[in-house]
């Protein structure tokens, strides 16, 4: 079967051919054509057009064409759902959908800048998405530092984050969300509102509005940041890791971001806080 889309592919138009060839039609032929000629060539070559306006395989609601392929062909695969959120965020400049979206966009923007041959770009893209699929299938919960006993030990360092007001009965979605957040905190601290909305099958707008009622009167973002800082404090107290390492292990992209968030939460710079911990330990001896 022939499939045709616009030339100069970057994100969605690389992800969709990968999805087609790996999960829908392994013998598919992918054709790239100038935007104004796609539909004409589609008729001449008996090809199915995708990722352009007014065709079946295209964006819908806040989803991209990759999402539509998954929906249309009923592909039930958690790894594909994970990749879909990343592709959606990269393709629509909504990096809040998945933290990996910004990286995916940067990679394919750079490749598209360097490579003028669409099929050569697709060939490289197939390899990249194969790797992304393996990560989403087997490695999604891991950071690259989690390779031995020391990293495994860190998973057990902090065993209590979430406190629930016992005077109120939380809805079932809040209980499930606590488990999802706990799982992410124990692994890579990487979690977005869109991801948990998809996991719980709850509208993200509703979840955002109701979240604070069941999570210490904090917004989703503030709650996750609080838990990150709580974990950072625990690592300061129980390990000899440097602040740069603690920042990384608690999900911060750089130490300056970690420092700003830490000071906002505690009123102190992390370096001062850590020194006070060390001083307290010395005085206790």
Query: Burial letters for 157-168: b for 16+ Cβ neighbours within 10 Å, e otherwise?
Result: ebeebeeeeeee
Query: Residue 141's pLDDT is what?
Result: 63
Q: What is the pLDDT of residues 173-192, one digit of tens each?
A: 666 666 555 545 444 445 66
Reported as a single tens digit per residue, the pLDDT across 110-132 is 999 999 999 999 999 999 999 99
The most confident of the ranges 139-143, 183-187, 220-224 is 220-224
- Residue of 133 and 258 predicted with greater confidence: 133
Residue among 241, 244, 136, 131 nearest 190 (CA) = 136
What pLDDT does 6 receive?
96
pLDDT at 258: 84
* Rounded (5°) CA angle 242-246-248: 120
The two structure tokens encoding residue 37: 């000629």
Closest of 19, 55, 59, 17 to residue 38, by C-alpha = 55
**What domains sit in the chain, N to C, each tagged with a CATH number?**
2-139 (no CATH), 149-284 (1.10.10.60)
What is the rounded average pLDDT of the residues 259-271?
A: 90
The span from the CA of 159 to the CA of 86, in Å, is 29
Supply the pLDDT for residue 115.
94
């Amino acid at each position: 079967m022939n499939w045709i889309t616009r030339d100069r592919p970057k994100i969605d138009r690389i992800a969709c051919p990968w999805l087609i060839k790996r999960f829908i039609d392994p013998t598919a032929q992918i054709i790239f054509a100038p935007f104004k000629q796609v539909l004409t060539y589609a008729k001449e070559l008996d090809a199915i057009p995708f990722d352009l306006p007014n065709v079946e395989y295209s964006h819908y609601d806040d989803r991209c064409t990759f999402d539509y392929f998954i929906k249309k062909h009923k592909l039930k695969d958690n790894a594909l759902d994970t990749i879909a959120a990343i592709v959606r965020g990269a393709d629509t400049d909504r990096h809040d959908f998945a933290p990996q979206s910004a990286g995916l966009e940067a990679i394919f923007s750079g490749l598209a800048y360097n490579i003028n041959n669409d099929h050569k770009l697709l060939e490289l893209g197939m390899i990249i998405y194969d790797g992304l699929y393996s990560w989403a299938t087997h490695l999604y919960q891991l950071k690259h530092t989690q390779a031995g006993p020391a990293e495994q030990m860190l998973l057990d360092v902090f065993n209590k984050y979430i406190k629930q007001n016992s005077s109120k009965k939380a809805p079932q979605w809040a209980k499930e969300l606590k488990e999802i957040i706990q799982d992410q905190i124990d692994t890579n601290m990487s979690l977005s509102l869109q991801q948990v909305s998809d996991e719980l099958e709850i509208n993200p707008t509703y979840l955002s509005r109701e979240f604070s009622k069941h999570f210490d009167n904090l917004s989703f973002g503030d709650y996750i940041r609080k838990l990150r800082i709580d974990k950072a404090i625990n690592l300061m107290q129980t390990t000899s890791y440097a602040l740069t390492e603690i920042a990384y292990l608690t999900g911060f992209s750089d130490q300056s971001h970690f420092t700003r968030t830490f000071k906002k939460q505690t009123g102190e710079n992390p370096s001062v806080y850590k020194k006070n911990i060390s001083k307290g330990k010395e005085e206790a001896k």
